[in-house]
A and B are shown apart, each in its own frame.
Chain A
């Protein structure tokens, strides 16, 4: 008897929960209607390509379509791993990313700390406004400004170098300069905008900490070291995790524009290789395989860096 009773209570519970859910869904059916269009978009333009990535394991024949093409297993991956370009691409991709990360990560933090310490508010505003501005320049314009300024014949940089008796140097024509030009122009363009988030973090630090430190006779530098920097550490950690997860994800747009036959040995990265082989040479399956390899490595990197941060620090993405 007792047993039957409890199970029927359970049943009622399950029933009522189900009813609850149905009621909620019914009452708010309009919300489902509202999100339908974005959901369809996400499924069509993000999940169908994920399903279509199976062409990486097939020999894509346009007339047969994605599903009709014959399977070839890991053939394309093997070809890629064994090709002479493999190590060059990995070296360039990771090299450019790490260079960007190591050189570019501290700059916005230093800029934010420095701006935060300025007492003249007007001066601070002017510097902020101007350093944000380059962020809005398009990649095409940015690269053409770089090429104009670095031109060996008429460029400003070579003119300046000429004053101290150096050059002229053909910056874009020599492979060894590529990475530095890419990274430092990127820093020039984005340091101001990337500092916004740190300036916000600094503004949210409790001012009484600074007041107490001043009363205790702490110098400006000491306050930066012991109050400001610890205060923005959580933000910095998150930003670092995010950029570590992007290590294999060097932006296509700028590199592609800066590439020329002379600097190919240091400028060819995975994304430009995928574009060239896939869309220019129409080797769909092979380049899809290269792209998939890149996405998987990215995913693993992001998850493991986050795991690491969660274990050893108190901040993580999820």
Chain B
């Protein structure tokens, strides 16, 4: 982009370009290869995975692993729960963030520095895990669906991102004009701010939604009933916890059979769990980039 093709490249620049391309190819392969391997292993037969015959493409293609995943009731419950927490949580998050960010972006909002200070201080210091847990317990939220969406109803970082967006895209004159025409502050939000903030709502929705879908910590500390578990907890129980129970010991043949089935299920489960985010990814990629940029403005 910077150079037009008519410019003469010196020899050192040519060498640099070649080395640079090789370097990036190397990075590309390092990132892509494990992903392709997992995908291929999920479609391969157990024996092929176990005996190490899978290198790049599926060997002896089969859908057995996926069948096992979809026949597992707890995985499906987890899927539904995660979906529920993600949708409800994200709606609450975006609503709260805009409510907080809009007044803080207004110059005529008396006391905005004080409130901003109250908000940002929470990013520097926190009471920590235990007092927060005791509070949630006292509020009676433990082991309810609300524990998954209320304690993290808003992130201050995203409030700052949204505030920066509002103060850079909606000029103060627009507020004044609205005021002169007798528009109330709340009317202004619904009639002018919301219609203008499509991009920021998209960014917030994506940040929050991915966060909800991928999080397991909240569920780990607040939920006890298996019926309420989100997918990530189920994944952890299947993928990680039974892995550590002495892989090298026990009867070899029995071991191999069970290990084989578990092994197959694991690869397909990894793929199934990542599908929602992977499907979204190509569409939302540019919004994420934009979100990072807006946040960086005030960095």
CB interface residues, B 239-267, toward A, < 8 Å: 239-240, 243-244, 247-248, 259, 263, 266-267
B154 touches A126 (CB 8 A): no
Whether B133 lies near A278 (C-beta < 8 A) is yes
B12, B210, B240, B293 pick with most chain A CB within 10 angstroms = B240
Q: B122, A46: Cβ atoms under 8 Å?
A: yes
Contact indicator A154/B49 (Cβ below 8 Å): yes
Let me know if B130 is at the binding interface, CB within 8 A: yes
* From A138, A139, A148, A235, residue with most partner B Cβ within 10 Å: A138
Q: How large is the interface on A (under 10, 10 to 19, 20 to 34, 35 or more residues)?
A: 35 or more
Q: Given the complex of chains A and B, what is the CA–CA distance between A196 and B289 in angstroms? A: 7
From residue 112 to 132 of chain B, which have CB atoms closer than 8 A to chain A?
115, 118-119, 122, 124-132
Contact with B along A210-234 (1 / 0, CB 8 A): 1000100001110000000000000
Q: Which residue of A lies closest to B189 (CB)?
A: A34
> Of the 9-residue stretches B58-66, B69-77, B96-104, B166-174, which lies at the interface with chain A?
B96-104
Q: Which residue of A lies closest to B102 (CB)?
A: A34
Contact pick for A219, options B1, B16, B128, CB 8 Å: B16
Q: How far is the CA of A140 from the CA of B111 in the complex (A)?
A: 42
- Contacting pair B127 A38 (CB below 8 A): no
Q: How far is the CB of B186 from chain A (nearest CB, A)?
A: 5
Which residues in A have their C-beta under 8 angstroms from that of B52?
154, 159
Q: Give chain A's interface secondary structure class.
A: helix
- Does A257 make an interface contact (CB < 8 A)? yes
**CB of A307 within 8 Å of the partner chain:** no
A140-B216, A145-B270, A278-B133 given as contacts; is B3 within 8 A of A127 (CB)?
no
Chain A nearest Cβ from B277, distance in angstroms: 5
Give min CB distance, A213 to chain B, whole Å: 11
Q: Give the Cβ gap from A258 to chain B, nearest Cβ, in Å.
A: 9
Check: B161 CB closer than 8 A to any chain A CB: no
Neighbour of B104 across the interface among A35, A123, A140, A284, CB < 8 A: A35
Chain A residue with the shortest CB-CB distance to B232: A140
Q: Is A149's CB under 8 angstroms from B34's CB?
A: yes
A103 interface residue (CB < 8 Å to B): no
With the chains together, A153 CA to B13 CA distance in Å?
46
Q: Chain B, interface size: which category?
A: 35 or more
Which residues does chain B contribute within 8 Å of A51, judged by CB atoms? 127, 131
Q: A197 — which chain B residues lie within 8 A by C-beta?
A: 292-293, 296, 299
Q: Which B residues are CB-close (under 8 A) to A126?
A: 28
Please tell me if the beta carbons of A53 and B16 are within 8 angstroms of each other in the complex. Answer: no
A188 within 8 A of B: yes
Let me know if A37 is at the binding interface, CB within 8 A: yes
Docked pose: A137 CA to B271 CA in angstroms: 10
Q: List 14 A-B contacts (CB under 8 A).
A: A28-B185, A31-B102, A52-B131, A114-B20, A140-B232, A144-B243, A148-B263, A170-B248, A192-B31, A219-B12, A257-B240, A278-B130, A279-B133, A288-B131
- Taking Cβ atoms with an 8 Å cutoff, the residues of B that contact A are 1-3, 7, 10, 12-13, 16-17, 20-21, 23-24, 27-28, 30-32, 34-35, 37-38, 41, 49-50, 52, 96-97, 99-100, 102-104, 106, 108-111, 115, 118-119, 122, 124-135, 150-151, 153-154, 156, 159, 184-186, 189, 210, 213-217, 221, 232, 235-236, 239-240, 243-244, 247-248, 259, 263, 266-267, 270, 273-274, 277-278, 281-282, 285, 288-289, 292-293, 296, 299
Known: A114-B24, A138-B277. 18 other contacts (CB 8 A): A34-B186, A42-B122, A42-B154, A43-B118, A44-B135, A50-B127, A132-B288, A136-B281, A138-B273, A139-B214, A145-B270, A156-B34, A193-B288, A200-B296, A214-B7, A220-B16, A288-B131, A292-B128
Which residues in A have some Cβ–Cβ distance to B below 8 Å? 21, 24-25, 27-28, 30-35, 37-39, 41-53, 55, 66, 111, 114-115, 117-119, 121, 123, 126-127, 129-134, 136-141, 143-145, 147-149, 151-154, 156, 159, 170, 188, 191-193, 196-197, 200, 207, 210, 214, 219-221, 235, 238, 252-253, 257, 260-261, 271, 274-275, 278-279, 284, 287-288, 291-292, 294-296, 298-299, 302-303
